[in-house]
């Protein structure tokens, strides 16, 4: 051995000063332990994340099934409130709601008998709602209660008289005869219980176009307070309403701050409330509350819609583009018949029906006519 040569190697520096690196240990062909431990940690982290995701998915599926079961119970009760005469007039076979356009008739009444048998009150609100999945849009068509039309076997009357004469079945027939449209589903809404539904979903938010002070109807206070009560008051802009105030907002017939308000502006407010309810029903918050409130959501309704139909409707409403809803109304010229105020239909109603169906471009009501039909796009 040459002078100065050493029979060993000296390692210096670093945290492992004075130690021999693993790869230099004689007779040990195994890879470094550091790489192996990192791989194990990654595997454990991956398994943990995967387990959490699987647990979340199972929770959401289970929660959804629980909500569906509760909702189905309410739907069963609501379905029994629709009579065979009404159901027989509905157009079937249109396809799934989430992929095919569907037309739904909404009838609002303040009578607790949702079956709408003869002798009940007139329909307080009549509206067609059409889903348009291809355009990701919901269309609304308000039908004025005073529209003077031909009612099958009963001559010319206000269109809402059909509900009093022959219940939901004759009201459906009158709407179909006048508009020429097929209707796929029907829902009769009891306004006296509708406020409970709105409270159950946590209220609704609407964008009120102008300040409102109503006439004195449905005072919510004691008789002593009501003697000095001026009426329902709503500020301009976005307002959040509980069930009681939402119902009052949608039923105002007179705005004492604006003499130009009519039953038509009332119809616009009703469309706002219905749209806002749709927003809330299709929200994530409602999904998580569904097992607790699913049974009560259908309490104010008589409808042929199944639980699966309602879930599809919620999905379509969730997918609908914000601010792209189509708001339409029928109308005509003011007149009188038998001493009562009525609206005589004009030919423009046919064009509005085509707009509502998406067959022609929407056009606003012509200027200068308080009761003229037309369509606008908005939230």
Nearest C-alpha neighbor of 34 from the set 53, 16, 13:
16
User: What are 56-80's pLDDT values in tens digits?
Assistant: 666 555 555 555 555 666 777 888 8
How much is the pLDDT for 118?
A: 45
- Residue 191 and residue 108 in contact, taking contact as beta carbons nearer than 8 Å: yes
How much is the pLDDT for 341?
A: 92
Q: Which residue has the higher pLDDT, 41 or 176?
A: 176
Q: Which residue has the higher pLDDT, 11 or 184?
A: 184
CATH number at 150 reads 3.40.630.190
pTM for the model:
0.76
Domain that holds residue 212: 62-378
37 pLDDT more than 90? no
CB atoms < 10 A from the CB of 255, how many? 21
The reply to whether 362 falls in a domain is yes
CB atoms < 10 A from the CB of 322, how many? 8
The reply to whether 218 falls in a domain is yes
User: Residues 6 or more apart from 244 whose CB is under 8 A from it?
Assistant: 195, 220
User: What are 81-135's pLDDT values in tens digits?
Assistant: 899 999 999 998 777 888 899 999 999 887 655 554 444 567 888 999 999 988 8
The reply to whether 170 falls in a domain is yes
CB atoms < 10 A from the CB of 342, how many? 22
The reply to whether 23 falls in a domain is no
Place 313 in a pLDDT band, splitting at 50, 70 and 90.
Answer: confident
* 345/149 Cα distance (integer angstroms): 8
Which residues does residue 367 pair with via DSSP β-bridges, in sequence order? none
The reply to whether 16 falls in a domain is no
Domain count, the chain: 1
11 pLDDT more than 90? no
How much is the pLDDT for 238?
A: 94
User: What are 239-290's pLDDT values in tens digits?
Assistant: 999 999 999 998 888 899 988 787 778 888 888 898 888 888 777 677 666 6
Place 368 in a pLDDT band, splitting at 50, 70 and 90.
Answer: confident
User: What are 321-331's pLDDT values in tens digits?
Assistant: 767 889 999 99
* 120/112 Cα distance (integer angstroms): 9
Q: Which residue has the higher pLDDT, 317 or 244?
A: 244
222 pLDDT more than 80? yes
Positive or negative: CA dihedral 266, 272, 276, 282:
positive
CA distances from 145 to 21, 127, 210, 280, 342 (A): 91, 10, 23, 27, 9
- Residue 242 and residue 282 in contact, taking contact as beta carbons nearer than 8 Å: no
How much is the pLDDT for 7?
A: 58
The reply to whether 312 falls in a domain is yes
The reply to whether 4 falls in a domain is no
- Residue 123 and residue 109 in contact, taking contact as beta carbons nearer than 8 Å: yes
Q: Could you tell me what percent of the chain has a pLDDT over 70?
A: 77
The reply to whether 141 falls in a domain is yes
How much is the pLDDT for 5?
A: 56
236 pLDDT more than 80? yes
Q: CB-side exposure of 148: number of CA atoms within 13 Å? A: 16
């Amino acid at each position: 051995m040459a002078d100065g040569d050493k029979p060993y190697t000296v390692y210096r520096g670093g945290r492992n000063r004075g130690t021999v690196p693993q790869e230099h240990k004689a007779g040990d062909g195994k890879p470094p332990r550091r790489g192996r431990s990192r791989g194990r940690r990654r595997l454990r982290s991956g398994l943990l994340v995967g387990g959490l995701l699987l647990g979340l998915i199972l929770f959401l599926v289970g929660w959804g099934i629980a909500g569906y079961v509760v909702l189905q119970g309410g739907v069963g009760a609501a379905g029994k409130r629709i009579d065979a005469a009404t159901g027989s007039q509905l157009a079937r076979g249109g396809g799934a709601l989430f992929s095919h356009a569907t037309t739904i008739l909404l009838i609002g009444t303040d009578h607790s008998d949702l079956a709408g048998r003869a002798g009940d009150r007139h329909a307080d609100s009549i509206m067609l709602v059409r889903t348009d999945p291809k355009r990701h849009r919901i269309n609304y068509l308000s039908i004025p209660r005073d529209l003077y039309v031909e009612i099958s076997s009963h001559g010319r009357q206000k269109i809402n008289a059909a509900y009093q004469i022959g219940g939901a079945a004759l009201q459906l027939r009158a709407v179909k005869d006048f508009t020429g449209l097929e209707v796929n589903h029907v829902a009769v809404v009891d306004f006296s219980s509708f406020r409970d539904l709105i409270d159950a979903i946590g209220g609704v938010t609407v964008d009120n176009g102008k300040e409102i002070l109503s006439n004195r109807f449905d005072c919510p206070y004691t008789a002593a307070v009501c003697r000095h009560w001026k009426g329902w008051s709503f500020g301009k802009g976005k307002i959040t309403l509980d069930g009681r105030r939402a119902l009052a907002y949608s039923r105002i017939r007179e705005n004492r701050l604006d003499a130009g308000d009519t039953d038509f502006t009332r119809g616009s407010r009703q469309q706002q409330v219905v749209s806002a309810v749709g927003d809330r029903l299709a929200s994530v918050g409602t999904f998580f509350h569904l097992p607790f409130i699913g049974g009560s959501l259908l309490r104010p309704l008589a409808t042929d819609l199944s639980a699966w139909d309602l879930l599809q409707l919620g999905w379509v409403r969730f997918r609908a583009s914000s601010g792209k809803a189509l708001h339409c109304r029928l109308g005509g010229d003011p007149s009188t018949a038998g001493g009562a105020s009525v609206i005589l239909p004009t030919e423009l109603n046919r064009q509005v029906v085509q707009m509502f169906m998406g067959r022609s471009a929407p056009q606003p009501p012509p200027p200068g006519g308080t009761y003229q039909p037309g369509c606008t796009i908005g939230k």
